[in-house]
Structure 1
Amino acid sequence: MRDFHLPGRSPVLATNGMCATSHPLAAQAALDMLKCGGNAMDAAIAGAVLLGICEPAMTGIGGDCFMLYTRPGSDDIHALNGSGRAPAAADAAKLRAAGHSTVPLGGVLPVTVPGAIDAFCHLADTVGKLGIDTLLAPAIEYFEAGVPVAPRAASDWARDFGAIQGSARSAYLSNGAPLRQGQLFRSPGQAEVLRRIAAQGRDGFYTGEVAEDMIDSLNRLGGEFTAEDFAATRCDATEPVHSRYGDRTLFEHPPNGQGATACLMLNILSHFDLAAMDPLGTQRAHIEAEAAKLAYDARNRFIADAGHTTRLDHMLAPETAAKLAALIDLKQAMPAAAPLTESVHKDTIYITVVDRDRMAVSLIYSIFHSFGSGVASDKFGILFQNRGAGFTLEEGHPNELKGGKRPMHTIIPAMLRDGETLIPFGVMGGAYQPNGHARFVSNLTDYGMAPQQAIDAPRCFSDTGEMKVERGYSDAVRQELADLGHRVSIPDTAIGGAQAITIHPDGVLEGASDPRKDGCAIGY
């Protein structure tokens, strides 16, 4: 039990259903779907789409999603890949010839076809109960009427609005300035897009006038998109990857997501007695940082589009983790792994829902960097993701940019099983996510923390050569980390954000939500 003398959040307890996500309006919309007869999939989709107006820097219908979910009465965990592909005309050789060494972060070059809407429509038809028209109704209302900008969303807007370009400036800025806390943000053009999806399903987005608006807007900026690129977009059912840590099993989405990185990181950490260390001490932080460097280096070498990832078994093999763990020097930090593939970011949304039948959904949905590519469609204001920046231009690399390929993705939903207990959870924060998953699991397993306590606990992250240490750590720990050779800093923005729901064997649902975001867990 937490110390009620100190600031903090209590877990949310309920029995009929629960949602945890990063904005209260989305959590409430999800719960409303449960109350009117929908299942957890219905609720998760309704809440996720609504988050596009609540947190437009983080996500939107121009983005991608990944999902893990269970069905009532079954222990099986299913995975779905809702990420889009590079246009058929894309080619790393063209960018290399134009003088690029990496895919640019902004503009049309990093844009990939949005995949989330196809996934949402498919799941509404095949898993949900209420239909996509019902699921989009709350989002349509809020996109049309507007949502007051929440504190964390306002902070993100102020920090990153410089990425917004061209026609997107009129759609996502107020007289050229970022929206402030409490100002109303509306997107009537996207409300119209959602109406068409509600009426026509995926074809209302990937064909017809909406698709033409996206294609024409991108190609006017130098893109090479075709109607076929959009019409051919389809989600894929996949098989989760997993690893054991103590008595728990972590399930992650497979490539092109980076979930295997979290599995490898835990496999490395299992070679150290973290439970004997101070959870907020120097030794744990150092070992975790070194394990992250090694796991992320493996990610950069191996993870790509599923059809091009050939060494996943090697990455997840116990002997690989054992060899990497042996490289960690307890007295000296190693150099950072080079970011060979994806460009680091920290922006996405995550939502988890559990219903009365104990269907669980773990859903993550993103436009990659803050405000994605910074480019929006001219007529409807659809902000495009810059997921193509997840490709490398290195010739012959499994993750080399090619037409029709999916880039390596940072967003990863997760589930954790401990006997009869299941915890769908996610940690937002781009590159931090595998580290965040490993830390959450370690906090529960090594230190006996409850999920809310595990989420609240201070974080650190060795991020491309810089050891970011939140203010919750002591100055003494920061100095000791610096003495070990880490380049230590206090990040301007808190590291990541997490949500989780624990399904206890006695039927109680326990929700946890990160105070680093604007959201909450709510149940009934």
Structure 2
Amino acid sequence: MRDFHFPGRSAAIACNAMVATSHPLATEAALHVLRDGGSAMDAAIAGSAVMAVVEPQMTGIGGDCFALLSDPRDKGRVVAFNGSGRAPGNATAEHLAAQGLTNVPIDSVHSVTLPGAIDGWFKLHENFGRLDMDRLLRPAIAFARDGYPVHARVARDWRKSKTHLAAREASRAVFLPGGVSPSEGDIHRNKALAATLDRVAKEGPKAFYEGEIAAAMVRTLRAHDGVHTEEDFHAVSGDFVDPISTEYRGRTVYQVPPNNQGLTALVILNLLSGFDLAGLPPGSAERLHLEVETARLAYALRNRHLGEDTAMRVTADDLLSRAFTDDLRTRISRDAAMTDLGALDLRKSDTVYMTVVDKDLNAVSFINSVFDSFGSGILCPETGVLFQNRGHSFSLDSDHPNVLAPGKRPMHTIMPGMVSEGGKPVLSFGVMGGDYQPLGQARVISALFDHQVDLQQALDMPRLFTPGSVVEVERSFPADVLHGLMAKGHDLAVARDPIGGAQAIRIDHERGVLIGASDPRKDGYAAGF
């Protein structure tokens, strides 16, 4: 129960539909679609398209998407969609290694994988949509053409990326008008992007992946020494796949399988399931210590094993087996931090996430991203498309399952989440923040089902992250908790930025209500009717 003596927000509660996004304009666009009779997927596409315009530092049509969906007409079966793009057909690790590189530079054209979002939107719409795409993309087109007001968190992120954007003429012209980053309340436009979205809305995905738009994007990438071809764009195609899952406290937690890192969250939950967390205060040093240690083990496994599924040498079932989990858990001490894992080399990055549940209880967990802030920083001036830099996640180690190779998908950090109970969806949610996402999802699930925390409070709780040997903590942690962590051997540092973001919708089948929550670390909110 929220203490109304303190600042904060209440969860949103409604009966007919619920939306939670990281941006007010996206929430409103999605709600209007639902009021017009659209499905949860229609609303998710409309909201995601708006965010691709109004949160350009985090998402865009030059990026990728993933989704989890639960359809009550199919007995609540959860379906996964992988809308991640692939490396160009001429990209090789050997080519970059010959240049003396040991990784894929995050701001280089070599980090640009093919954009899968537009293909994903249309495939998902074909299977789960009701309204036509021209209606769904109309709000995003209007914001890109006529302008939108920059919100507070967006302005903060934008300002931090000024040097990145200034490095290239096209991105500088669009995103640093007058040589400065927009301030909160300033109006920003991307008219070339509006024209691209308008054409895609009217002509379909072929207008993006073939013809003039694809040719213009390839010219831009080639001008920056990329090896991308129009044939690479023609070949983009996302996939419906079977989700992977684990049981946690009597509920089923679903993730998209590799190349997605969702498996990492399931490993964390399996490890946590062996501890009596309900007997520990959710914000205590003892409880947080277990969170850090299980996460470190799971991330080490991710770094060693994850990549495109066909390249992995172990399966998800191997890493989620009870015997493997029990053995791995023996490495955790309740009293002392681990010191033998080596470098994890994790990093936080930015993305957007949204979730929608409609009157028929169709649940959509949807995430769309350009990876790092403003992606690669490479903008196609003719189309307004900013390219992602997801290829930075590839390894150049020829023995690693995630090594860069022609037409290959990289290990991907963005991960929608969903939880069901008794064959019915009870939670559709996601946590943003790059590598932080598995730990963030496990934290939310544990808060809800170990500690019965209110949904909004579960997103509000202070966060920590362990990118390496140092544990980053938000400033909101009480001093006694930090001293307790240090007493167990953890080196702490105050996080420079807030850690991640989240949106969630809980489906209360017994009372017939939808409960929505949105992270205060972002600009957005949850709303329903």
1:203 is the counterpart of 2:217: no
**What does 1:130-279 correspond to in 2, within 5 Å?**
130-164=131-165, 165-166=167-168, 167-279=170-282
Instruction: Give, in whole Å, the separation in 1 of the partners of 2:341 and 2:372.
Output: 21
State the Cα deviation string for residues 191-212 of structure 1 (Å, max 9, x = none): 0000110111001111111111
Instruction: Give, in whole Å, the separation in 2 of the partners of 1:386 and 1:111.
Output: 5
State the Cα deviation string for residues 5-42 of structure 1 (Å, max 9, x = none): 11121111111111000011101100111111110000
Flag structure 2 segments of 5+ consecutive residues without an equivalent: none
Q: Give the one of 499, 509, 516 matched to 1:511.
A: 516
Partner of 2:528: 523
Report SS of the residue matched to 1:53: helix
**What does 1:308-323 correspond to in 2, within 5 Å?**
308-311=311-314, 312-323=316-327
Report SS of the residue matched to 1:463: coil
Q: Report sequence identity in percent.
A: 46
Task: Kindly indicate whether the alpha-carbon contact (under 8 Å) linking 1:125 and 1:132 is maintained by their aligned counterparts in 2.
Answer: no
Instruction: Give, in whole Å, the separation in 2 of the partners of 1:336 and 1:56.
Output: 39
**What does 1:419-430 correspond to in 2, within 5 Å?**
419=422, 420=424, 422-430=426-434
Shift of 1:313: 1.7
Instruction: Give, in whole Å, the separation in 2 of the partners of 1:508 and 1:490.
Output: 38
Shift of 1:380: 2.0
**What does 1:311-390 correspond to in 2, within 5 Å?**
311=314, 312-335=316-339, 337=341, 344-390=347-393
Partner of 2:71: 71
1:56 is the counterpart of 2:56: yes
Shift of 1:482: 2.5
Shift of 1:507: 2.0
Q: Give the one of 467, 471, 481 matched to 1:467.
A: 471
Shift of 1:338: 5.3
Partner of 1:398: 401
Task: Kindly indicate whether the alpha-carbon contact (under 8 Å) linking 2:97 and 2:396 is maintained by their aligned counterparts in 1.
Answer: yes
Report SS of the residue matched to 2:430: strand
**What does 1:407-426 correspond to in 2, within 5 Å?**
407-419=410-422, 420=424, 422-426=426-430
Task: Kindly indicate whether the alpha-carbon contact (under 8 Å) linking 1:217 and 1:377 is maintained by their aligned counterparts in 2.
Answer: yes
Instruction: Give, in whole Å, the separation in 2 of the partners of 1:49 and 1:92.
Output: 33
Shift of 1:307: 1.8
TM-score, length-normalised on structure 1? 0.97
Q: Which amino acid aligns with 1:286?
A: H
Instruction: Give, in whole Å, the separation in 1 of the partners of 2:505 and 2:445.
Output: 13
Q: Which amino acid aligns with 2:337?
A: A
Report SS of the residue matched to 2:154: helix
Instruction: Give, in whole Å, the separation in 2 of the partners of 1:455 and 1:289.
Output: 18
Shift of 1:320: 1.6
**What does 1:479-518 correspond to in 2, within 5 Å?**
479-505=483-509, 506-518=511-523
Instruction: Give, in whole Å, the separation in 2 of the partners of 1:476 and 1:500.
Output: 30
Task: Kindly indicate whether the alpha-carbon contact (under 8 Å) linking 1:21 and 1:27 is maintained by their aligned counterparts in 2.
Answer: yes
Shift of 1:368: 0.3
Report SS of the residue matched to 1:379: coil
1:3 is the counterpart of 2:3: yes
Partner of 2:121: 120
For the structure 1 residues 360 and 316, does the alpha-carbon distance in structure 2 shift closer, same or farther, using more than 3 Å as the test? same
Shift of 1:421: 5.3
Instruction: Give, in whole Å, the separation in 2 of the partners of 1:374 and 1:127.
Output: 33
Instruction: Give, in whole Å, the separation in 2 of the partners of 1:260 and 1:407.
Output: 15
Task: Kindly indicate whether the alpha-carbon contact (under 8 Å) linking 2:60 and 2:369 is maintained by their aligned counterparts in 1.
Answer: yes
Q: Deviating runs (4+, > 4 A) in structure 1?
A: 336-340
Greater displacement, 126-135 / 366-375? 126-135
Provide the aligned C-alpha RMSD in A: 1.4
Partner of 2:43: 43
Instruction: Give, in whole Å, the separation in 2 of the partners of 1:343 and 1:221.
Output: 28
**What does 1:286-301 correspond to in 2, within 5 Å?**
286-301=289-304
Shift of 1:346: 2.2
State the Cα deviation string for residues 52-108 of structure 1 (Å, max 9, x = none): 122110000000000001224331000001000000010011111111111110020
Task: Kindly indicate whether the alpha-carbon contact (under 8 Å) linking 1:343 and 1:389 is maintained by their aligned counterparts in 2.
Answer: no
Task: Kindly indicate whether the alpha-carbon contact (under 8 Å) linking 2:71 and 2:77 is maintained by their aligned counterparts in 1.
Answer: yes
Partner of 1:12: 12
Greater displacement, 190-199 / 485-494? 485-494
Instruction: Give, in whole Å, the separation in 2 of the partners of 1:214 and 1:384.
Output: 9
Partner of 1:439: 443
State the Cα deviation string for residues 279-302 of structure 1 (Å, max 9, x = none): 111111111111111001111111
Task: Kindly indicate whether the alpha-carbon contact (under 8 Å) linking 1:337 and 1:464 is maintained by their aligned counterparts in 2.
Answer: no
Shift of 1:378: 2.6
Q: Which amino acid aligns with 2:415?
A: I
Instruction: Give, in whole Å, the separation in 1 of the partners of 2:104 and 2:208.
Output: 26
Report SS of the residue matched to 1:61: coil
Shift of 1:178: 1.6
Report SS of the residue matched to 1:422: strand
Greater displacement, 415-424 / 251-260? 415-424
Shift of 1:339: 6.2
For the structure 1 residues 430 and 336, does the alpha-carbon distance in structure 2 shift closer, same or farther, using more than 3 Å as the test? farther
Task: Kindly indicate whether the alpha-carbon contact (under 8 Å) linking 2:86 and 2:408 is maintained by their aligned counterparts in 1.
Answer: yes
Report SS of the residue matched to 2:287: helix
Instruction: Give, in whole Å, the separation in 2 of the partners of 1:449 and 1:27.
Output: 24
Report SS of the residue matched to 1:234: coil
Instruction: Give, in whole Å, the separation in 1 of the partners of 2:480 and 2:358.
Output: 45
Report SS of the residue matched to 2:178: coil
Instruction: Give, in whole Å, the separation in 2 of the partners of 1:287 and 1:454.
Output: 17
Task: Kindly indicate whether the alpha-carbon contact (under 8 Å) linking 2:455 and 2:517 is maintained by their aligned counterparts in 1.
Answer: yes
Instruction: Give, in whole Å, the separation in 2 of the partners of 1:471 and 1:215.
Output: 44
State the Cα deviation string for residues 207-242 of structure 1 (Å, max 9, x = none): 111111110000011000111100000010111111
Partner of 1:28: 28
Report SS of the residue matched to 1:49: helix
Task: Kindly indicate whether the alpha-carbon contact (under 8 Å) linking 2:418 and 2:425 is maintained by their aligned counterparts in 1.
Answer: no
Q: Which amino acid aligns with 1:65?
A: C
Q: Which amino acid aligns with 2:455?
A: P
Q: Which amino acid aligns with 2:40?
A: A
Partner of 1:94: 95
Instruction: Give, in whole Å, the separation in 2 of the partners of 1:224 and 1:338.
Output: 35
Report SS of the residue matched to 1:175: helix
Shift of 1:483: 3.2
Aligned residues between the structures: 523
Shift of 1:484: 2.5
